Amino acid sequence: MKKLIECVPNFSEGNDMHIIDQITDAMKTVEGISVIDVDPGKATNRTVVTMVGEPEPICEAAFRAVKKAAELIDMTKHKGAHPRFGATDVCPLVPVSNITMEETVEYARKLAERIGKELNIPVYCYESAAFVPERRNLATCRAGEYEALGERLSSEQWHPDFGPRELNSWTAKTGATAVGARNFLVAYNVNLNTTSTRRANSIAFDVRERGRVKREGNPITGKKVLDEKGKPVMIPGSLKSVKAIGWFIEEYGIAQISMNLTDISVTSMHEAFDEVCRKAADRGIRVTGSELVGVLPLKAMLDAGRYFLRKQQRSTGVSDKELIKIAVKSLGLDELYPFDPKKKIIEYILEEEASKGKKKLVDMTLTDFADETASESPAPGGGSISAYMGALGAALGSMVANLSSHKRGWDDRWEEFSDWAEKGKVYQTELIKLVDEDTNAFNKIMDAFSLPKKSEEEKAARQKAVQDATRYATEVPFKTMKQCYECMSVAKAMAEIGNPNSVTDAGVGALAARAGVMGAFLNVKINAAGLEDKEFAAQIIREGEAIVEKANELEAEILKIVNSKI
């Protein structure tokens, strides 16, 4: 699974598209990143760019963009409505999938240090990347904006974390940059069956973390209650990490609750939706749907689908496509306009871009896949077929679990079977990926053999590439073996406790998975034979033989259970 982070740099230029294009072009020179949104604002004189990719390429693209912005933008001439203090004003890194906040902080700090050292730009680390609590808040780091920068750079308390501590001709031009690490922010609006902005605002104040001003007597017209410092006392709302306001959208003729979910690990989209539904109902207002502004991680949509299925006491071990459909319909994300997952979900956007011009086996029809396998090309071959057999075995196990979860009379066991279906789905997903990965591994070997070998250096580089590719082509089917064997546990459980009417499906699932083990092991052996590292080759063969033995024993157990129930 790839580690993905989002980077959302803000540049202090929103009018000159020639400058903006040069900055985004600098990002695009880095392979492995996708620029998915460029949003220039004329009044703010600011452009917000969103890019996604693996951490190293993202940090390189961010660095190149900061460098280009420093060359093209002169902060001594900048004017705009948005607070700012640098050509690249802010550059937050956001964990998207398979990466922790702690890891993201490390990348942010390394990027900040590099900008400071190599570009001589003052850099402040904020949010989770801050070195001291006082600098977590961006507004605090940027206090006084560009106009106060000269005084702050040289001060003992507010000097930058990296880069120069003085305002010279260069830093006066570039200003400072804030590099941070923060959680994913989702811009999310909930639609109401009212045109009243005031009523929408009341619901927004009910749910947002900041809440509403406390008043004496009448909660609307009463006198504000002030604290000892003369500031209004607030009554907190019901949702943490949520900012919200009510407004009227003339285009659609409805009022909305416009929310920023600043940390979806604290308050998710589906939790925010349900809470707005409750608070709206308390005020006699009905939620009719919702709207996602921008993009979000796949996990957020899958979590929403599972949440609504659990509320129905239905199995969550279904396909991602089905989970997304449930989420869209439950949240009403298609009320105002069609919701296209390929344009709204980060991982799908990246996948779409990466697959342009490429033919994936798993996207073929069954007939096309069979025809491709039968062609003169050596790939796809036995390794891909083994992975696909395992995926089908896992799918059958999930099918029996899903059928069992809503069997009449077994309603109280839906969660037990849902858990098994989820396990089967995990194995199926991994094995489906291995269908194409096995072919990719074979292609790596072919690519390595095609490298030049005229000089001694070229021969050595070619030999190393061949060995690296061969090792990888050995590891991939070994991984297939393990996944195929492990997914047999779902088939066994379903044979034992699942819907008895589907017991033979569990048996066929075990047969398919065990065939996947055996087929993948053949590929392990033939590829290991070409390895110079004989110790590794012997070890992986021994481990493979152990898996084969356990798979044979488990298949016999499962078939014995199946036959006893037929």
Residue 469 identity (one-letter amino acid): A
- Two tokens, residue 213: 């001003």
User: What's the Cα-to-Cα distance from 43 to each of 302, 408, 496, rounded to whole Å?
Assistant: 37, 62, 67
Distance CA 313, CA 234 (A): 38
Candidates 82, 159, 334, 419; catalytic one: 82
Using CA atoms in the order 518, 520, 522, 525, what is the torsion angle rounded to 10 degrees? -130
Residue 274 identity (one-letter amino acid): D
Is the bond preceding 219 in cis, omega lying within 30 degrees of 0?
A: no
Please name which of 30, 28, 32, 37 lies closest in space to residue 5, comparing C-alpha atoms: 32
Backbone angles phi, psi at 178, to 5 degrees: -105, 120
Candidates 89, 206, 438, 505; catalytic one: 438
Please name which of 292, 263, 275, 288 lies closest in space to residue 203, comparing C-alpha atoms: 275
Contact between 114 and 78 under an 8 Å Cβ cutoff? The reply is no
Which of left, alpha, beta for 253 (phi over 0: left; psi -120 to 50: alpha)? left
The residue whose two tokens read 């400058």 is 19
Give the pairing type, strands 46-53 and 10-11: antiparallel
Look up residue 356 and give its DSSP letter.
Answer: T
Which of left, alpha, beta for 455 (phi over 0: left; psi -120 to 50: alpha)? beta
Distance CA 138, CA 529 (A): 58
* Active-site residue, 82 included: yes
- Two tokens, residue 516: 């996947």
First to last CA, the chain: 40
Known catalytic residues are 82, 438
